[in-house]
Amino acid sequence: MRMALDQAQAAADAGEVPVGAILVDPASGEVISTGANGPIAAHDPTAHAEIVAMRRAATALDNYRLTGLTLYVTLEPCAMCAGAISHARIGRVVWAADDPKGGAVIHGPRLFEQPTCHWRPTTDSGLLADEASSLLKSFFRQRRGTATGGAR
């Protein structure tokens, strides 16, 4: 999660909402890919940290299925990211800070609990939550009044 926080800080330094993600092979401990939030710079509304990390991992592994990998992310995934996590068949998702407003795992639609969800990863939350939350709060405190039009 510390590496994901580094990615979140890189996103903040670039003017993006500070969310970071990494994908790890739990069998070997190898970091397969990293991702930092980047929708503004990429002109891509889907460039959330989780999506960036999944795209990089799929390319690195030459497979769109990321079965068995663990995704560490600094904020509870949104509905788009949770859907992509399910489609990628990621084995486990661990996030730092809960997102009562935009999260979709334990908040909002609770995507993995829906009967139409074909793949449900195991989930854990709270790892380095205070650090992730502080980074987000600091970012938005600095940006108040100059919002770019979106939560991510």
Give the model confidence (pLDDT) of 71-94 as tens digits. 999 999 999 999 999 999 999 999
User: CATH number of the domain at 1-133, out of 3.90.1150.10, 3.40.50.620, 3.40.140.10, 3.40.640.10?
Assistant: 3.40.140.10
The answer to whether residues 61 and 32 touch, using CB atoms and an 8 Å cutoff, is yes
CB atoms inside a 10 Å sphere around CB 105: 24
**Mean pLDDT value of segment 45-62:** 98
Buried b (16+ CB within 10 A) or exposed e, 64-94: eebeebbbbbbbbbbebbbbbbbebbbbbbb
Q: What does the mean pLDDT of the chain come to?
A: 95
Q: How confident is the model at residue 143 (pLDDT cuts 50, 70, 90)?
A: confident
Q: Are 101 and 151 in contact (CB under 8 A)?
A: yes
Task: Confirm whether pTM is higher than 0.85.
Answer: yes
Return binding residues for Zn(2+): 48, 78, 81
| Structural tokens at position 8 | 């979140």
- pLDDT over 80 at 25, yes or no: yes
Among candidate residues 15, 25, 14, the one with its CA nearest the CA of residue 53: 25
Active site residues: 50
Beta strands 122-125 and 92-97, pairing class: parallel
pLDDT in the model for residue 121? 98
Q: 81, 50 in Cβ contact below 8 A?
A: yes
pLDDT greater than 60 at residue 118: yes
Pairing of strands 92-97, 20-24: unpaired
The structural domains of the chain, with segments of one domain joined by +, span: 1-133
The tokens describing 94, both together, are 């661990």
Q: On the CB side of 23, how many CA atoms lie within 13 Å of its CA?
A: 26
